[in-house]
Amino acid sequence: MKALSILALSTLFFLGFSTSSVDYPVRTQNDIPIVQSDSTYKVLVEKDIVYAKGLSHETINSASAQEMPLKLDVYLPDNNTKNRPAIMLIHGGGFSGGTKEHKHIVNMAKYFASRGWVAFSIDYRLRKHKGTLPQEWIDNASDIANDRAPQFLSVYPAMRDAKAAMRWIVANAKSYDINTDYITVGGGSAGAAIAMTVGISNQEDYRDEIDITQDPTLATTNLDQTYRIRTILDFWGGKTGLDILESLYGKQRFNSNNPTLLIAHGAEDPTVPFSKAEDLKSIYEVNEVPFVFYPLKGKGHGVWGATFNNKHLDKLSFDFIVEQQNLIVK
């Protein structure tokens, strides 16, 4: 096992502009989605769509396990557009709580859907569900996470599920008129840590560590699909899932081809230290990937109502996505 620094290990489980560009295919004006600057469309909601299944064990990796449906909600603009961007939003809760009905996640989903995006809010397995784990996670939990081992063991199923949700979105893109070249993923706290992992990890990460013999529900997760994230929204999260990949498997996934990133983090956050945001900022600077960094002075954790330069998080996110994806705004 590749060891992390003592400082990194001690903060790993607190959960709580560069001017270079990432190369994407050249698009004509007709290929680029059009979005609205103001709330324009009625938002249609499709609830409790099963995007995959996962195992829930009686105890860690016990033979006694049940299949559980993994669900998402879709927020659609009521229009006839055939070329829509998409955004997947992920609730927080320290991998122990929270649902896709999280008030602020739903509000942000509606904000984007009313402007032309197809927005998704997902559920994923939590600590109480005891999702299937690779053996190396169990063997190294105490060494890596110390007294936070139960939280550590909740990370793998959550990441596995969120990546399955993204594969489902791509598999069903035509049904929702989604242009898969314009996908954003974001979240708050643990949801942001998941979003970072969905956006930056390789396709096989949090997918191939377990095979279908050990977990037959993998067959429900659109394993034949791949995706590419264009932009990430990190609200007071961090890179927990990516740190674990490096610690357990020696896999370092940050590079100059990573998706562009918005970081918003309370400077007085007692749950996820502000240093986690500064670490991400430094990594993006070194790799010369575009990012924006919003230190929320005097703010703590989960500050969805925060503003920066008199702009709320939804507007900051809108402006960032539009600029980085070169969307057409009406």
- Three-state secondary structure string covering 160-219: HHHHHHHHHHHHCCHHHCEEEEEEEEEEECHHHHHHHHHHHCCCCCCCCCCCCCCCHHHH
Residues with Cβ within 8 Å of residue 53, at least 6 apart in sequence = 67, 68, 69, 70, 217, 220
Query: How confident is the model over 227-285, as pLDDT tens digits?
Result: 999 999 999 999 999 999 999 999 999 999 999 999 999 999 999 999 999 999 999 99
pLDDT in the model for residue 17: 39
Q: Phi and psi for 89 in degrees, rounded to 5?
A: -115, 140
> Residue 310 corresponds to which tokens in the numbers above?
């008199």
The model's confidence at residue 18, banded by pLDDT at 50, 70 and 90, is very low
The model's confidence at residue 202, banded by pLDDT at 50, 70 and 90, is very high
Q: How far is it, in rounded angstroms, from Cα 330 to Cα 328? A: 7
Which residue from 43, 277, 302 is spatially nearest to 189, judged by alpha carbons?
302
| Residue in the structure block whose two tokens are 């309370």 | 266
Query: How confident is the model over 75-134, as pLDDT tens digits?
Result: 999 999 999 999 999 999 999 999 999 999 999 999 999 999 999 999 999 999 999 999
Q: How far is it, in rounded angstroms, from Cα 54 to Cα 98? A: 18
- Give the C-alpha distances (Å, rounded to integers) separating 172 from 4, 49, 177: 39, 12, 9
Q: How far is it, in rounded angstroms, from Cα 293 to Cα 62? A: 43
Domains in the chain, please, with CATH? Answer: 6-329 (3.40.50.1820)
pLDDT in the model for residue 22: 45
> Residue 186 corresponds to which tokens in the numbers above?
């974001």
pLDDT in the model for residue 147: 84
pLDDT in the model for residue 146: 85
Contact 274, 174 (CB under 8 A): no
pLDDT in the model for residue 30: 66
What would the mean pLDDT of 127-156 be, rounded to a whole number?
94
Average model confidence (pLDDT) across the chain: 92
**Helices 149-171 and 190-200: angle between axes, nearest 10 degrees:** 50
The model's confidence at residue 14, banded by pLDDT at 50, 70 and 90, is very low
Q: Report DSSP state, residue 229.
A: -
pLDDT in the model for residue 25: 54
Contact 236, 269 (CB under 8 A): yes
